[in-house]
Copies of this chain bind each other. A is one copy, B any other.
Amino acid sequence: MPVYQEMSKQQLSQEKQKLEKEYAEFCARNLKLDMSRGKPGKAQLDLTADMLDCVNSNMELKAEDGLDVRNYGGLDGIPEAKRLFSQLLDVSPDEIVIGGNSSLNLMYDMVSRAMLFGTEEDCKPWCKLDKVKFLCPVPGYDRHFAITEQFGIEMINIDMTSDGPDMDTVERLVSADEAIKGIWCVPMYSNPDGITYSDETVRRFAALRPAAKDFRIFWDNAYCVHHLGEVHDHLLNIMDECKQRGSEDMVYEFASTSKVSFPGSGVAVIASSRKNIARLKNQLSFQTIGYDKINQLRHVRYFKDADGIREHMKKHAAIIKPKFDLVLQMLEQEIAPLGIGTWNKPNGGYFISFNAMEGCASRIYELCQKGGVVLTKAGATFPYEKDPKDSNIRIAPTFPPLDELALAMQLFCICVKLASVEKLLA
C-alpha cells in the first residue's frame, strides 16, 4: 500500500470506507479499555505484595536512631529512608526530605510555598508579583502544567529535542526575563517522549544564569530507575553539576516509589541544596509534625538499599517491556508504511509519544473514546491543553493486560488511519 499522502481521492475514499467498516465492527464489541494514565498494571502491584509483611505486629518498629516510628516526630524522614533515597538520587542524606505518598503533592506544595513565601529569603513571594512565568518543555506532563495553570502562572512552550529541551531558547529566555521563575523538567525518560536529557543539556541547565535570583528548576526525576531493559539511558547528576558551579540552590529534584512499590502508598522525596532543605524543613514544620514513618520503614526493610530498588525494577521491566514492544510493533506494522505518524522508542519510562498528522490528534482521541478505548486527552501534553499542531498523543501501555492492550492498539491504529484519511479528504 502506498503512503496515504500519495493516494488519489478515490483511493482514499475506498480506504475510508474500509476503515469505517473495521471501526464499526470494533465499536460493536463494546470495549471498555483505559490507556489514559501511566498506571502500573495489577501484575506490577503484585510484585511488591511482600512489602506489606515487612512491618507487622510482632516486630519492633524503631528507626535506627531509636525513634519509635509509630509515634510523632521525624519531620524529614527516618535516617535509613534518607540514606536509601540519597543513594538512589546520589545526593547526601542532608540534601533530602522524605515526604508523604506523592511527589506530585511535594511539587504542588513547593510551588504553593513559592507563591506565598518566595523561594529565597530576600525575594518577594511570587503571588506579590505582577507576572510569574514558567518554561514548559513540550510535549510534557499534564499534571505539571495543571499546577502552574492553577496558580495563574503563565506557561511558555519550549520544544523538546532528542537531547531534551531546546536549551538555546531556555538560556535566552531565563537570562533575559526576570518574570521567568521556573521550568518543569522530566529529565529521564521524559513524559511523554521518553527522552533522557543529554549530558550537555544537564550541564547547560546547571550553568544557567537566570535573570531571576529566585528561579528554580523543577527536576521531576520520576523515572530515574524505570528502565525497560539492560541497555538503558544514563542521566547526569544535576546536583553534582550544579555544585561544581555553585548553582545548587536552583534545583528542586523530586522522585517517588509510586511506580516502584505502590502508587498512592509509596514514598516521595525531594532533594535540593542544604540551604533550600533547611528552609524547606522550617516551612514544613508549620504544615505537619511528620510524614508516615511506618511506611518509610516498610520500604527500607523491603528494598534495603538503592541496588535493591534497581534489582526490583527489572521485575517491572519484565512485565511492561512486552507491552511497549507490542505497541511499537503494531505502530511499525500498521502505521509506518502509511506515513501518517511518528513515535519514539524509549528505553524506559511509562509512555510512547505518538505524533499524528497535524490536526488529527483530537479526532483520534474522539474516535478511540467512542470505540471504547480511553486515551490521554489530546492536547493534555501541552500547557492549557492546547497542542498547537493537534498532533501529539500519549500512549500509556502499562495498565491493560497484554491481550487488552493488543485490542486497544488495533482500534488505535484504525482510528489513526481513519482520522488521517478524513483529514486528507477534507
Contacts and interface: CB of A to CB of B under 8 A. Distances in A.
Interface of A: 37, 39-40, 42, 45, 49-53, 55-57, 68-74, 100-102, 104-105, 108-109, 112, 115-116, 125, 127, 143, 146-147, 150-151, 258, 262-265, 283, 286-295
A293 to B, nearest CB: 6
Contacts of A68: 42, 45
Given A45-B70, A150-B286, A288-B102, A294 B262 contact: yes
A144 to B, nearest CB: 10
A291 B283 CA distance: 21
In the assembly, how many copies of this chain are there? 2
Contacts of A40: 71
Contacts of A150: 283, 286
A395 B73 CA distance: 19
Contact of A71 (B45, B52, B143): B45
A264 B108 CA distance: 21
A58 B172 CA distance: 56
B264 A147 contact: no
A105 B51 CA distance: 27
A249 to B, nearest CB: 22
A264 B72 contact: yes
A49 B289 CA distance: 21
A316 to B, nearest CB: 14
Given A53-B57, A116-B116, A288 B104 contact: yes
A264 B290 CA distance: 6
A383 to B, nearest CB: 14
Nearest to A298: B52
Contacts of A147: 286-287
